Chains A and B, each alone.
Chain A
Amino acid sequence: MKPVIEIYNLSKMFGIGDATTVALDNITLRIDKGEFVCIMGPSGSGKTSLLNIIGLLDAPTRGEYYLEEKPVAELSQRRRAKYRRDRIGMIFQNFNLLAGANVIENVALPLTYKGMLHTKRLKQASKLLETFGLQEREYYMPYQLSGGQLQRVAIARALVSKPAILLADEPTGSLDSKSSEIIMSELSEIHRKGNTIIMVTHNPEVALYADRIIQMVDGRIASDTKEPIKEPDPDRKRPLNSYRRAAEAVAKMLERKPDAQKPAKSRKKGAKK
């Protein structure tokens, strides 16, 4: 399986000096395509911080993060926004819908930033809402919907640009058990279609839907139902800090200098000696 997310020795600190709080402490993690991962742990264990970093909403203090095998540290803000728009769907505990926009406009929002035409994006959003049984609520405002319906709208919005990865932060956190069940079966269905899902939750019942459970305590991974990886693959290309980059560039130049002066044959001979 191809890795979708690879994280090496990643840490996240908040605050400065004595007031520093460690939210994530040296985390190494790999998530493959098509996995349904549940991250559990008590409040303050760093679950949401991890999810925000994975979702490119936040940046790590230290460590490396590869998203679909690309080093995130090298991405510009603009590229990050495009990743959020095209490759990642986010679902929040408090839905985070635009209060001033109706259901269909909320769902179509990511398509807006793709530059898709008004009618086209509404059509696409409408099609998606139909699969969630919300077609008749298209022109309702968010305040006219129940919690379960709101979360389904939020999931529809997360899926509308057909992302590879779905990140859900306590998606059932503000829902009753019946609505939770509906939401979870929706997510299972999405997972069955091949999406990678990473979900943060407190609720052990909800966690049962996942096929891999990661327990976090104090910013560290306490347990993982899948064998954790220890070290990054030494062969892969890694982002270099500027000092190393410069040093390597100089080394390369020194190496090449004789190449430029000597003809190819004599260099080969020299090499044999």
Chain B
Amino acid sequence: MLMIDARIALKSLRATRVRTALTILGVVIGVASITTVFAIGEGAKESVRQQVNQLGHDILTIRSGKGTRDSSGELTGYNFWAALGSSTVSEYDLQKIQDMKQVKTASPIMAITGSVRTDEGGEPIKNTSIIATNSDFSKVAGLKVHSGDFLDPTADRNTVVLGSDLAVQMLGSDTAIGHTVWLRGQPFTVIGILSKYNIPTNLSDLYDYNRTAFVTMEAGKEFNQGVAQIQQINLRVNDQKNIKADAAAIHDTLLKNHDNEEDFVVLRPEETLTFTNAVLKVATQFSSALASVSLIVGGIGIMNIMLVSVTERTREIGIRKAVGATNAQILRQFLIESLAMSIIGGLLGTALAYLGAFIIGSFFHITPVITWAVFGLAMLVAVAVGVAFGIAPALKAAKKDPIEALRIVQ
């Protein structure tokens, strides 16, 4: 019986192709926008997860800003706005940490604002960053050197290591060691060029390592009037199994340095993930709330067109009832029409979302993830929209008095 009703419904939809297509388009846009948001959100979460996996589970990050922990040592809050102010993490902290026996290697990140030029008087290269750090950074951050060497303790102060993309743009090659480039108007000799860094996000989030010039801390300090301004310290511990205890020990050491003023936080790998995920979650929820508005509009489109359809087809309803259609059969016919539109819209919307998410994702180096759960949710929402916005017109159709309906002149 349902098949017969479905056949009648689809035939009616085919009879008004343009109108049906436009109504479906409304649902497509709604479902597509919601699914895109979810796909990008899931993709971002996944890439953060991958990043932690790739960077390793033995990494600790120290940033300024107070973190609060519960009795079991789990992070419950972090005032990350503090990280935007002047940093509380110092070179002395770094030195103390390096001296600890649990710490295998540690390195700072000091971001420097300034121009990068190929020639002394040339145009500054766009979208670049300068990071001052120590020789261990390549080990801590998992960077690989393509040609030459990374910064080393004996290196001359005015040496630089370039990210892969930056080297190619400035020097036309990723093997051009020995050239001179100009950072903040100072000449620096290129001693190393990195391999392409393929992890979309990294320890310091804000910087694209492929477009970064790495200099020594001495050079960095000179750029900053002799003061080290360390945004964060990354370190690897010897034994990742004890990382929680190690983090606590490092925290205690730093607390002594900071006169018991807790103006820093030691973050474990999964905790950096927690924060990114929390931010992503809020972003996803906010965007999906906005996107769901378009789905509601799509649903209203269905309702609108179904109401018009019921009015237009009053006589048809009368005829169908006169030859024996029950109220339930008429209800089913119209409900299936709205459901068919919403389900087709849902399927097309998901397909479009996948395409859209790939295009958007390619700008942010995120591979969108459409899980079965996201697909299922999208279809569920589409069906819910079909029923919610289709039931009123279908009831209106089913309740039509046959004799009144047959009197309508069309």
Question: Footprint of B on A, CB under 8 Å?
Answer: 52, 55, 57-58, 77-78, 81-82, 84-86, 90, 92, 96-98, 100-101, 109-110, 112-115, 118, 157, 161
Contact = CB atoms under 8 A, between A and B. Distances in A.
B202 interface: no
Given A81-B326, A96-B322, A113-B329, 9 more contacts: A57-B322, A78-B327, A78-B328, A82-B324, A84-B321, A85-B325, A90-B323, A92-B406, A157-B323
Contacts, number: 66
Contacts of B139: none
A92 B322 CA distance: 10
Interface residues of B, number: 24
Interface centre among B15, B319, B402, B403 (most CB of A within 10 A): B319
Contacts of A82: 324, 326
A192 B319 CA distance: 27
B69 interface: no
Interface of B, helix, strand, loop or mixed by DSSP: helix
Nearest to B323: A110
27 contacts: A57-B322, A57-B406, A58-B403, A77-B327, A78-B326, A78-B327, A81-B325, A81-B327, A82-B324, A82-B326, A84-B322, A85-B323, A85-B324, A85-B325, A90-B322, A96-B318, A100-B11, A100-B15, A109-B319, A112-B4, A112-B8, A113-B320, A113-B323, A113-B325, A113-B326, A113-B329, A157-B323
B324 A113 contact: yes
A57 B326 contact: no
Nearest to A56: B402
Nearest to B328: A78
B9 to A, nearest CB: 12
A77 to B, nearest CB: 6
A23 to B, nearest CB: 12
A110 B406 contact: no
Contact of B323 (A77, A78, A109): A109
Given A81-B321, A115-B1, A96 B326 contact: no
Contacts of B7: 118
B120 interface: no
B208 interface: no
A78 B325 CA distance: 9
B91 interface: no
Contacts of A92: 406
B263 interface: no
B169 to A, nearest CB: 64
Contacts of A100: 11-12, 15, 316
B4 A115 contact: yes
Nearest to B319: A96
Contacts of B328: 78
Interface centre among B4, B316, B324, B406 (most CB of A within 10 A): B324
Nearest to A55: B322
A57 B1 CA distance: 23
B271 to A, nearest CB: 62
A100 B309 CA distance: 14
Contacts of B316: 98, 100
B312 to A, nearest CB: 11
Contacts of B319: 96-98, 109
A68 B275 CA distance: 77
Nearest to B4: A112
Contact of A86 (B11, B321, B324): B324
Contacts of B325: 81, 85, 113
Contacts of A112: 4, 8
B334 to A, nearest CB: 15
A86 B1 CA distance: 17
- 5 closest pairs, A vs B, by CB? A85-B324, A81-B326, A110-B323, A84-B324, A57-B403
A121 to B, nearest CB: 9
A115 to B, nearest CB: 5
A96 B4 contact: no
A86 B8 CA distance: 20
Contacts of A113: 320, 323-326, 329
B179 to A, nearest CB: 77
Interface centre among B12, B15, B320, B323 (most CB of A within 10 A): B323
A15 to B, nearest CB: 14
Contacts of B323: 84-85, 90, 109-110, 113, 157
